Amino acid sequence: MTRRRKKKDEPPIPLVDYEWPPYGYRMADGIVVLDWDEQQTIKAIIWLRRRGMAATQMARSLTKLGHKPRAKAWTTPDIETILRRL
């Protein structure tokens, strides 16, 4: 999996262009704000990745640990999408 590096002078991607805010954020009064529960889940994903866990294993672990996904259940693509944003 190849990741494009951001150039120093490249402007950040505005969150208002998203149809839905990315995982870890939510809309409040028309403004994108941090969702603290989802931020804790992102910290858990980082912790699991540092221990060498694959995305499929992370999905199972997050479910067992009680972290709530936006959909019905955690999936490998959900985890991979979050990891790509980090």
Average pLDDT over residues 49-78: 94
Per-residue confidence band for 1, with pLDDT thresholds at 50, 70 and 90: very low
Res. 14 pLDDT band, cuts 50 70 90? low
Averaged pLDDT score across all residues of the chain: 84
CB 83 within 8 A of CB 55: yes
Global pTM reads: 0.74
| 61 phi and psi angles, rounded to 5 deg | -65, -40
Domain range summary for the chain, segments of one domain joined by +: 36-86
CB 32 within 8 A of CB 25: yes
User: Could you tell me if 65 and 44 are in contact, meaning their C-beta atoms sit under 8 angstroms apart?
Assistant: yes
Q: How far apart are CA 42 and CA 82, in angstroms?
A: 8
